[in-house]
Amino acid sequence: MGTWGTAISSNDTYADIYSEFMDMYNDGLEVPEITLQLLKTNQDLIDDRDSKNDFWFAIAMAQWECKSLDDDIYKRVRLIVESGEDIELWKKQNADKKDVAKREKVLKSFIEKISIEKPKAKRRKRKVFRDSIFETGDCLIFKLTNGNFGAAVVLTSEKQTEYGMNMIAITTINQSNKPTIDDIKKSNVLIQKEQILPGTYREREMISWYFAQFYKRCDIDFIIIGQLNVNRQFNFNTEYTAISSWDMIKETIDMNESVIKELGKPKR
């Protein structure tokens, strides 16, 4: 189900649909137009037993917050709750009895909330456009927990986009002396094994995307020691779509030995 809690919003389906709805709302689209668009593009969720309730809950909440709750949508989610359909689904998924009880209270509160018209519609947010923190080709070094230096290379940067993302490759460098550009040229991209299912592993290059707006939370002191030529632009939608926090650049190297000890050395 992609669920991490009993709250209405604590699942992947709700989070994705609500986010898409609000993105379009902030872009200036009207609620009926947004709803129609989401209905057209998410038929697979609507037809899926495990996801459909969360889809309708997200639509209902978003419409309510925009003071445009459609009566048919309201009746649909009320029926889902009052019929016990959602609770039965949780039971079939072998949910803990305490979680089922919490979910029942959450659903009751949800219906009570959207049954009263919101006094004011949610304000449309004006989008902020950002530049990436680093430039394409920047070679970054930083101190590791063991006192050594680690290094990473910026493969892609953006100018005045909504998220100002950098795509960054973490290298295998973990050395006591301060790395040089030549050291970085001779290094490899760090590859780690990761478990995707019990007993099933894959090897993944430690290349991820990093958001400009979260950089201020980072505790790493990056030093730019120069640049390498990167002769192509990478696309988030098709290449290395992993997203990570800035602090994980350092932590990935810090944890590498324990990952190898637990899962084995990568073959490439």
Give me the percent of the chain exceeding a pLDDT of 70: 99
Q: Do 117 and 131 form a contact (C-beta atoms < 8 A)? A: no
Tell me the pLDDT tens digit for each residue of 131-190: 999 999 999 999 999 999 999 999 999 999 988 999 999 999 999 999 999 999 999 999
pLDDT of residue 1: 45
The domain spans of the chain are: 12-114, 138-263
pLDDT of residue 82: 96
As a whole number of angstroms, the distance between CA 58 and CA 13 comes to 8
Q: Record the tokens describing residue 69, joined without a space.
A: 């709750």
CA distances from 45 to 35, 51, 53, 228 (A): 14, 5, 9, 44
Judged against a pLDDT cut of 80, whether residue 199 lies above it is answered with no
pLDDT band, very low/low/confident/very high, at 46 (cuts 50, 70, 90): very high
**Pick from 19-28, 95-104, 189-198: least confident:** 189-198
Q: Record the tokens describing residue 207, joined without a space.
A: 């290349």
Give me the percent of the chain exceeding a pLDDT of 90: 76
Tell me the pLDDT tens digit for each residue of 3-38: 788 999 999 899 989 999 998 999 889 999 999 999
Q: Record the tokens describing residue 231, joined without a space.
A: 């002769």
Tell me the pLDDT tens digit for each residue of 51-88: 999 999 999 999 999 999 999 999 999 999 999 999 99
pLDDT of residue 187: 97
Average model confidence (pLDDT) for the chain? 93
User: Average pLDDT in the 76-102 region?
Assistant: 93
Q: Is 169 left (phi over 0), alpha (psi -120 to 50) or beta?
A: beta
CA distances from 17 to 51, 84, 182 (A): 11, 23, 47
pLDDT band, very low/low/confident/very high, at 2 (cuts 50, 70, 90): low
DSSP letter at 39 equals H
Q: Do 74 and 114 form a contact (C-beta atoms < 8 A)? A: yes
As a whole number of angstroms, the distance between CA 232 and CA 230 comes to 6
Instruction: Name the 3-class secondary structure at 126.
Output: coil
pLDDT band, very low/low/confident/very high, at 213 (cuts 50, 70, 90): confident
Instruction: Name the 3-class secondary structure at 166.
Output: strand
